[in-house]
Structure 1
Amino acid sequence: MFRSSSQNRPSESPTDAALWHQFREGDEVALGELAERYYKRLYGYGSKFSRDREAIKDCIQDLFLEIWDKRHTISEPDSVKLYLLVSIRRRILRRKTGDKWLEQSEELDFDAAVVGDLPIETAIIEDETSQHYVRKLQQLIPQLSRRQQEIIYLRFYENLDNEAIAEVMSLSRGAVANLLWRALKELKEYWYAGLLLLMIPGLYLLQ
Structure 2
Amino acid sequence: MFRSSSQNHSSESLTDAALWHNFKEGDELALGELAQRYYKRLYGYGSKFSRDREVVKDCIQDLFLEIWDKRTTISEPDSVKLYLLVSIRRRIFRRKTEDKWLEQSEELDFDSTLIGDLPIETAIIEDETSRYYVRKLQQLIPQLTRRQQEIIYLRFYENLDNEAIAEVMSLSRGAVANLLWRALKELKDYWYAGLLLLMWPGISLLK
Category of TM-score, reference length = shorter chain = 0.7 to 0.9
Partner of 2:23: 23
Written as runs of structure 1 = structure 2, the 5 A alignment for 1:65-80 is: 65-80=65-80
Matches of 2:63 and 2:192 in 1, distance apart?
A: 38
Show CA shifts across 1:116-164 (max 9, x none). 4324x44663214122321211111011000000000000000000000
How far apart, in 1, do the equivalents of 2:66 and 2:174 lie?
32
Contact in 2 for aligned 1:124/1:199 (Cα 8 Å)? no
Could you say which residue in structure 1 is the equivalent of 2:124?
Answer: 125
2: CA distance, partners of 1:82 / 1:145: 23
Distance in structure 2 (CA, Å) of the matches to 1:173 and 1:133: 29
Asked whether the equivalents of residues 23 and 71 of structure 1 are also in contact (C-alpha less than 8 Å), the reply is yes
Secondary structure at the aligned position of 2:117 is classed as coil
User: Is the CA contact 2:2–2:29 (under 8 Å) kept in the aligned structure 1?
Assistant: yes
- Cα distance in 2 between the residues matched to 1:197 and 1:154: 15
1:198 Cα deviation from its structure 2 partner: 3.5
Quickly say closer, same or farther: Cα 1:89–1:24, change in 2 above 3 A.
Answer: same
Q: Name the SS for the 1:147 alignment partner.
A: helix
| Corresponding position of 2:97 | 97
TM-superposed CA distance for 1:96, in Å, is 1.1
Partner of 1:196: 192
Residue correspondences, number: 197
4+ runs of 1 displaced by more than 6 Å?
A: 202-206
Residues 112 and 153, structure 1, Cα contact 8 Å, conserved in 2 = no
Q: What's 2:136 paired with?
A: 136
RMSD of aligned Cα (Å):
2.6
Tell me the TM-score normalised to structure 1 length. Answer: 0.85
- In the alignment, what sits opposite 2:152? 152
Q: Report the TM-score, using the length of structure 2 for normalisation.
A: 0.85
Query: Does the CA contact (< 8 Å) of 1:4 and 1:33 recur in 2?
Result: no
Matched, 1:86 2:89: no
Structure 1 residue 11 displacement after superposition:
8.3
Shift in Å at residue 197 of structure 1? 5.0
